[in-house]
Amino acid sequence: MKKYLFGMLFLTSFVFAQQGTLKIGYVNSETIIKELPEAKESQSKLETMLKGWQEEIEKRGQALQAKYEEYQKQANMLNESSKQTKQKELVDEEQKLNQYRQEKQQELGVQREKIMKPIQEKVFKAIEKVAKEKKLSFVFDRATEVPVLYADPSYDYTPDVLIYLKRGGGK
């Protein structure tokens, strides 16, 4: 078994020696995206949209709370049938509010995907372009779950990608 592993290791190193050196680099896609003006603009649009929804949810929540407090004040004076009717109305309104909240969260996800996808594609094209210019075999993204436990800063190509994009590349 050891001979087999040693042979595979030797063969692999021989193949890489024949092909030339293996060049590896990394970028931080989050940093790149944060620096792009169109990403900042898109994030601002999403935040504005979210703020409007949050205000509406807050308004509906306050109205529901006021109805609940009114019900509590009148509960002792209501007959059992009226209590059940009011309770059902309150439960129904709470369910509607929760449904609205879930719909808006889903819509935010859809809008974020719709807005950010072209930006991400632009960044990935720029990364590919820089990787080819620098003759990199592999490019890792420090922003993802790929475990890069250590990276020499001299292999960080994030600034190169940003420069490429600022010069109008990736369009």
Q: Whole-angstrom Cα distance, residue 49 to residue 107?
A: 10
Domain count, the chain: 1
Closest residue by Cα to residue 63 from 88, 102, 97, 99:
97
Bigger pLDDT: 152 vs 17: 152
- Asked whether 131 and 24 are in contact (CB, 8 A), the reply is no
What string of DSSP letters covers 54-107? HHHHHHHHHHHHHHHHHHHHHGGGS-HHHHHHHHHHHHHHHHHHHHHHHHHHHH
Cα dihedral: 126, 113, 46, 107 (round 10): 180
Per-residue confidence (pLDDT) for residue 2, from 0 to 100: 40
Closest residue by Cα to residue 122 from 25, 36, 42, 24:
36
Q: Whole-angstrom Cα distance, residue 87 to residue 75?
A: 10
Asked, for residue 131, whether it belongs to a domain, the answer is yes
Asked, for residue 13, whether it belongs to a domain, the answer is no
Bigger pLDDT: 170 vs 80: 80
80-105 pLDDT per residue, tens? 999 999 999 999 999 999 999 999 99
Q: Find the domain containing 76 and state its range.
A: 20-166
Per-residue confidence (pLDDT) for residue 139, from 0 to 100: 87
Angle between helices 158-166 and 80-133 (to 10 degrees): 90
Predicted TM-score (pTM) of this structure: 0.64
Asked, for residue 10, whether it belongs to a domain, the answer is no
Asked, for residue 15, whether it belongs to a domain, the answer is no
Asked, for residue 5, whether it belongs to a domain, the answer is no
Per this entry, what is the length of the chain? 171
| Rounded mean pLDDT, 96-124 | 94
CATH number, position 140: 3.30.910.20
